[in-house]
Chains A and B, each alone.
Chain A
């Protein structure tokens, strides 16, 4: 059993290593020339140098995580296109879901109150004279 688990573990490492491509990395990091573009969208000299660097790391058998860590060490933490889904950055990722959740709760409350009166058809309102509308 231990042998099988070890084999699966080793296989997963091998698969992980084999799966890393330039595209996996260049979609997750920014070009550092100051253009503000994701590396995959930039074709400047800096971008090409970064790609070469990444290709070199892939050739050395580094995992995606190791490559990203090394790039962050070299270029600073802001080289990542998005912050990780951990620590203080979790707020970034969960905030939209919280906003929608609060909104749905508010709508639920509004939909329960059903004593609405009907004053005018909005389609018709633009055909009314201002005086009729405003007085």
Chain B
């Protein structure tokens, strides 16, 4: 048996012991036993870290005795991709999931207060950890041995040999594992019948949301730059499963504010934390099981029974806890007026959750249809585009209203004042669209975008002015830091607006063509002129590359030379992939794919997406908004407000 397996089994035992210790400590109110639970948690984390380090070492040292290493690495694989091959397959990525979860648990123990809420949280979280360790020990052990040493490994799928794929799984798993903490906190909050879980959960929710955002961003960027079909989102089941928890967590991030302000929405918040975690489990399952066909899935496996059991257990536990604490969950009323921020949050939750349930429905519908009709129907982009587009537009309109409405109650005149400029911007968007003879869909997207954008800028200015009056001598930067939750939210909204307009521009104004060019030929494409200068060739131990030399001209000026390529790998099954090349003129991309070539001619697929870079920029701004809202109080107090005594930071 490999040392790695022994480490995994030991971690499992330690994890089981910690569950017992937390449970006994809570039951007997014995802090000594609870401390033992903590020690066992640390030990589990150390053992998982050691197992992960060992697997990494096996990759770097080409230890093909280990089946997982032989399946996803080869001797000629660059060192960097030997590291990322760690999470290229189902078993290794599950170990990464568990490693990240153990990091969260250690962080929780270091950061949070040691009280009943924490004890319950650790109990639930270690339950999740034990489940995954059980999987790693049985059906998904990355340390399974081949029983012989092959001369070389099969190699890493060329599509995964990209920086984007190096970043996508770890960032997404940071979000996935974080949702386990949010779920554990929610369940524990109900068990202890105490609202303080929402105060404690806020930072974990935002932190998790930031990573989910990053995970989705890197996944989309990978699809765009690497898969070579010119898109970034195909509504594939695996893509959908990463979006689902993001949607419900975004809803939770808003609805916990109502619990903080009004002590309402208690049941709803628990359900959102629960469903977010269920979506995370579902995503982990879909990617691994092959139960729903996906271009991104690892393939068929025998993981259906354990995942079904876990999904069922989480659901039953949550419902039981809700039933047991039904008197605590009874919420108070949450609005004083329909014209209030609270009311807009209700609609925001409705749209986000309806979107999530719709995407979920479309994702699992093939299984339902198989049960009813005997065959799996395919649910493709047209379904999602048709049902999600109206929800997305409604969300953007609401984004504008949500910012314009104050907490508690708005008065008619005040509201008119707040909506005057945004209404003008909305009308301006329509007029501009008509003037530029844009498509009706673009005009609609542009006008709601400008409406929401104006409310945000207006509110930035008004709030800062108001707070300056309130705080006297504080500078704008200090005011923004003081109100970092609000301004972080505004910033994230701005990012979302950019993502929205970036997607709308691509969907409705993209140009696309297949172009056959002989050497020396020129082709006009939109505002660009492409000149094909012939085919190049290079080879290495890893692959053979044919690349086209395509000059990109605009208005008589050479902008650059693009090299879209076809690569044939020497490892594995000799996969052949197309490497796209992109000329970026912000926010536009000229995107060229080489589809085939002989000595005299080459066939290209050329696309111009006028706004795609707004999506990437918007994603970073979304992330920045979340990070800004997370700036710790201790940092603000120590470094920013040191000289201002008496200001709460």
Q: A127-B633, A133-B199 are in contact. Are A81 and B335 (CB under 8 A)?
A: no
A43 interface residue per 8 A CB criterion: yes
- Give the residue name and chain of the A residue nearest to B578 (CB): A43
Residues of chain A within 8 A (CB-CB) of B295 are: 35-37
Within 8 A of B (CB), among A71-111: 76-83, 88-89, 92-93, 95-96, 99-100, 103-104, 106-107, 110-111
B379 and A92 contacting across the interface, CB-CB below 8 Å? yes
Answer whether A76 and B199 are a contact pair too, CB < 8 Å, given A82-B380, A117-B263, A118-B408: no
Selected from B354, B482, B593, B595, the residue in CB contact (under 8 A) with A127 is B482
B234 touches A123 (CB 8 A): no
Q: Are B229 and A41 in contact (CB under 8 A)?
A: yes
A-contact bits for B323-366, CB 8 A (1 contact / 0 none): 00000000011111110001100110010011001100110010
Task: Judge if B29 is at the interface, Cβ distance under 8 Å.
Answer: no
Segment among B32-40, B271-279, B304-312, B381-389 that sits at the interface with chain A: B381-389
Contacts of B483 in A (CB 8 A): 123
With A95-B358, A99-B357 as contacts: A116 and B199 at CB distance below 8 Å: no
Once the chains bind, are A134 and B199 in contact (CB under 8 Å)? Answer: yes
A100→B347 CA distance, assembly (Å): 10
Report if B262 contacts A (CB, 8 A): yes
- Contact in complex: B229, A96 (CB < 8 Å): no
CB contact between A116 and one of B229, B332, B373, B383 (< 8 Å): that residue: B332
Are A119's CB and B263's CB within 8 A? yes
Return the contact of B362 from the options A28, A92, A111, A123 (Cβ within 8 A).
A92
> Shortest beta-carbon distance, A24 to chain B, in Å?
12
Q: How far is the CA of A80 from the CA of B382 in the complex (A)?
A: 11
Q: Is residue B648 within 8 Å, beta carbon to beta carbon, of the partner chain?
A: yes
| Known contacts A88-B373, A107-B347, A123-B486: A117-B332 contact under CB 8 Å | yes
Kindly provide the distance from the CB of A73 to the nearest chain B CB, expressed in whole angstroms.
13
Question: Complex Cα distance A127/B294, Å?
Answer: 45
Flag if B333 contacts A103 (CB, 8 Å): no
- Cβ contact within 8 Å between B485 and A83: no
B375 touches A76 (CB 8 A): yes
Chain A residues contacting B234 (CB-CB under 8 Å) are: 36-38, 41
Interface bits A110-135 vs B (CB < 8 Å: 1, else 0): 11011111111111111110100110
Asked whether A36 lies within 8 Å of B294 as measured between CB atoms, the reply is yes
Known: A37-B229, A96-B387, A114-B337. Contact between A134 and B377, CB under 8 A? Answer: no
Enumerate chain A residues within 8 angstroms of B230, measured Cβ to Cβ.
Answer: 41
Bound Cα distance A37, B294 (Å): 9
Q: Please tell me the number of chain B residues within 8 Å of chain A, measured between CB atoms.
A: 64
Residue of B nearest to A95 (CB): B361
Q: Which of B346, B380, B408 is close to A30, meaning CB atoms less than 8 Å apart?
A: B380
Q: Tell me the chain B residues, 473-488 only, with Cβ under 8 Å from chain A.
A: 482-486
Residue of B nearest to A125 (CB): B260
| Known interface pairs A81-B381, A92-B365; A123-B485 also in contact (CB < 8 Å) | yes
A21 at the interface (CB under 8 A from B): no
Q: A36 contacts which chain B residues (CB < 8 A)?
A: 234, 236, 293-295
Q: Does B372 contact A (CB under 8 A)?
A: yes
B570 at the interface (CB under 8 A from A): no
Residues of A within 8 A of B380 (CB): 30, 38, 81-82
Contacts of B486 in A (CB 8 A): 123
Q: Could you tell me if A100 and B378 are in contact, using CB atoms closer than 8 angstroms?
A: no
Q: Is B649 an interface residue (CB 8 A)?
A: yes
For the complex, is A12 an interface residue (Cβ under 8 Å from B)? no
Shortest C-beta distance, B501 to chain A (Å), equals 23
Q: Judge if A27 is at the interface, Cβ distance under 8 Å.
A: yes
Q: Please give, as numbers and ranges, the residues of chain A lying within 8 Å of B236 by CB-CB distance.
A: 36
A124 to B482, CA, bound (A): 9
Contact of B375 with A126 in the complex, beta carbons under 8 Å: no
- The 8 A CB mask of A44-85 against B (1 = contact, 0 = none) is 000000000000000000000000000000001111111100
User: Is B317's CB within 8 Å of the partner chain A?
Assistant: no
A117 close to B199 (CB less than 8 A): no
Q: Is A42 an interface residue (CB 8 A)?
A: yes
- A77–B358 Cα distance when bound, in Å, is 23
CB distance B229 to A110 under 8 Å?
A: no
| With A41-B234, A107-B350: A27-B361 Cβ-Cβ less than 8 Å | no
Contact of B649 among A83, A118, A127 (CB under 8 A): A127
- Contact assessment for B353 and A116 in the assembled complex, using a CB-CB cutoff below 8 Å: no
Q: Cβ of A104: which chain B residues have Cβ within 8 Å of it?
A: 350
A49 smallest CB distance to B (angstroms): 15
Nearest to A41 among chain B residues (CB) is B229
Known: A43-B605, A116-B335. A122 touches B229 (CB 8 A): no
Residues A119 and B262 in contact, CB atoms below 8 Å apart: yes
**Complex Cα–Cα for A123 and B295 (A):** 43
A111 vs B202: C-alpha distance when bound (angstroms): 25
Bound state CA distance, A78 and B369, in angstroms?
10
Q: Is B257 an interface residue, CB under 8 A from the partner?
A: yes
Contacts of A124 in B (CB 8 A): 648
List residues of B (212-242) whose CB comes within 8 Å of A's CBs: 229-231, 234, 236
Whether A99 contacts B354 by the Cβ 8 Å rule is yes
B264 at the A/B interface (Cβ < 8 Å)?
Answer: yes
Given the complex, which residues of B lie within 8 Å of A76, measured CB to CB?
375
Contact, CB under 8 Å: B648 / A128: yes
* Residue B511, interface by CB 8 Å: no
Whose C-beta in chain A lies nearest to the C-beta of B237?
A36
| B372 proximity list for chain A (CB < 8 A) | 88
Find A134's partner among B196, B335, B347 (CB 8 Å cutoff): B196
B346 touching A107 by the CB < 8 A rule?
Answer: yes
A78–B342 alpha-carbon span in the complex (Å): 44
| B-to-A contact residues, CB < 8 Å | 113, 196, 199, 202, 229-231, 234, 236, 257, 260-264, 293-295, 332-338, 342-343, 346-347, 350, 353-354, 357-358, 361-362, 365, 369, 372-373, 375-383, 387, 391, 407-408, 482-486, 593, 595, 605, 633, 648-649
Closest 10 CB pairs of A and B: A81-B380, A36-B295, A103-B350, A122-B257, A116-B333, A83-B377, A96-B358, A134-B196, A127-B648, A113-B333
Known contacts A82-B382, A127-B482, then 13 further A-B pairs from the complex at CB < 8 Å, ordered by chain A residue: A78-B378, A82-B378, A96-B354, A96-B391, A100-B354, A113-B335, A117-B263, A118-B262, A121-B261, A127-B633, A133-B196, A133-B199, A134-B196
Offer 17 A-B interface pairs, CB within 8 angstroms, sorted by A: A35-B295, A41-B230, A78-B375, A81-B379, A88-B372, A89-B369, A95-B357, A95-B361, A100-B350, A104-B350, A111-B335, A115-B332, A117-B333, A120-B260, A122-B260, A127-B648, A130-B113
